Structures are given as C-alpha cells and as structure tokens.
Homo-oligomer: A and B are copies of this chain.
Amino acid sequence: MRLAKKDILDMESLSVGEIQYILDTAETLKEISTRPIKKVPTLRGKTVIHFFYEPSTRTKTSFEIAAKRLSADTVSISASTSSIVKGETLVDTAKNLEAMNPDAIIIRHRAAGAPHILARLSRASVINAGDGMHAHPTQALLDMMTVREKRGRLAGLRIAIIGDVAHSRVARSNIVGFIKMGAKVVLAGPATMMPIGVETLGARVTYHVQEAIKDADVVMVLRIQKERQQAFVFPSEREYAQCYGLTQEKLAGAKENVLIMHPGPINRGIEISPEVAEGPYSVILEQVANGVAIRMALLFLLLGGPR
C-alpha cells in the first residue's frame, strides 16, 4: 500500500498514522540488508535521481544503497559537476529533470524550501534529504525508528536535544516529529544557538545541559556545524566542550539505559566525548543502519505500487 502523499518534505506534513506506517515498514524492510542477497525486485524499472547540492557521505550513500537494494535505477547529480556551475536556476533544473520522467528525486540543498519548489514542479516523488536550516525528515524518521526499536514506544519518553539547535535542520525535524508522537522534548544549548520562539513547537528550553539531561530517556547531541556558521557563536571550541559537550559526568542525571544519539559526522571531543560516543548507551551506528531501512521504506511507500 502506498502513502497517500507524493512527497516527503518535512515532519509537519506527516500525520501520526503515516509516521507509524513508515516506521513499521522500515522495520520490516530492515531485514533485507542482512540477507546474503540484499536485494528485492520491488522497484525494478523505477528511476531515482539523487541531487545533492551539498557534500554528503552518509545520507547520499544511504539513499543510494536503499534505492539499489530495491532494484531501482539510480542517477546521481552533484552540484560541482552539473549545470549549476553554468548558473541554471533550481526551477529550470527541476523542470528539466522532470522531463526525463524520474519516479523520485532525492534532493539536498543549502536553501530552505528548495525541495518544496521541486515538489510543486514535478510529478516525481520528492524526498527532502536536508534543506538549509529547515528540515531533514529522513533523519528524524530514522532517529524515531531507533528510539522505538530500543524502547518499544515514543509516547511519554523524554528527549533531550543538546547543542546548536538554531542551525540544525536535524533538531527542527526531530522536535516536530517526537512531539507529534507524544514524546517530551527539552532543548539545551547556549542562548546564541537557541532559535527565538522554538517553544511554540512545543519544546521546553533550558540553558543548562544537566537540567535537560535529568531523567532523559534519550540524549541527542547535535553537531557543531562549523561550515554553516557565519561567525562562531561561542567563544571557543574548548569553552563549548566544557559547557555543552556531552561527557560521562554530565550524563549522571539521566535515566539508566539512556540512549545517546548523534546525527553525525561527529566532532569528537567537542560536542561529545569519545567515551560517550562509543559508550554502551550509544546507538549512533544503529541510527546509520536504520537510515537505510527508513529510506527503503519511503521509496517503497512512495513508488512501490499503483497509486
């Protein structure tokens, strides 16, 4: 059964039922990646275009592997070798891709809203693989899948999100997603990294990491996005690590068996200490494995049968 919608653009536009259906499907498909023959013929003859305007290893590789394990044909376009360097607008590029009859376009773009423009112009399904500081819904879905897998549920859990919330599309999508599923979200980070009005999303804000972590079921550490910051919004990396970096001591107040998450790539020793990143409660690599499953689920649910 397909999803009723054509595109996956953000967590706001997914219903509770749709999220559950995506997570359920991903759990079922996850097993394919552990078979000796990691491939099913479901999307044979479908064309999936991967259009990444920003560098990416894990997300791009994850999507490509997902598409190939479903037998789709994939074509990859990166900004550096494409007509973007000739000054073509996104709208024109979108219309041109559309004319080649792709079934899905996966897009990462530095401009918030780019996937929405593409979705409007295209009959193909569009999946947002990260747009500016706006949204990263597949990351939120894989995070939710990981938590549900480990805890059996999302409702009633307490999720602490630590760090540069203002610059983080991962944070925004997770806040919306977890709250929608009935979890409580507490944010902690320096005031300069906390977006104004974030409480309207339903999250609680504190400036003390320990307060956020207290009784948390999940601590999600955000990456310091050096490449996305105009000017560094805190005095030094060392000071950041001291105040906000997740260490064993800061974790003391969390629940036993707290889950430690990070969207990667990690700045080791800055936002998270190596002991915590590789400690017994870290599910960082489960997140990556679930990423393939979530992307398989989305491609399957968007393209996988008669609409």
Residue from B45, B87, B101 within 8 A of A265 (CB atoms): B87
Q: How many residues of A contact B (CB 8 A)?
A: 63
Tell whether, in the assembled complex, residue B288 and residue A73 are in contact, meaning their CB atoms are under 8 Å apart: no
- When C-beta atoms are compared, the residue in chain B nearest to A98 turns out to be B285
Q: Does A37 contact B (CB under 8 A)?
A: yes
Tell whether, in the assembled complex, residue A101 and residue B34 are in contact, meaning their CB atoms are under 8 Å apart: yes
Tell whether, in the assembled complex, residue B288 and residue A96 are in contact, meaning their CB atoms are under 8 Å apart: yes
**A82, chain B: closest CB distance, angstroms:** 4
Q: Does A93 contact B (CB under 8 A)?
A: yes
Tell whether, in the assembled complex, residue B61 and residue A68 are in contact, meaning their CB atoms are under 8 Å apart: no
User: A-side interface residues toward B, CB under 8 Å?
Assistant: 33-39, 44-47, 49, 52, 55-58, 60-62, 64-65, 68-69, 73, 75, 77-78, 80-89, 92-93, 95-103, 226-227, 264-268, 285-286, 288-289, 291-292, 306
Q: A37-B45, A56-B81, A99-B289 are in contact. List 18 more A-B contacts (CB 8 A).
A: A35-B45, A38-B101, A38-B103, A47-B69, A55-B80, A57-B97, A61-B75, A61-B77, A65-B73, A68-B75, A83-B264, A86-B227, A87-B267, A88-B264, A96-B285, A98-B285, A99-B285, A101-B289
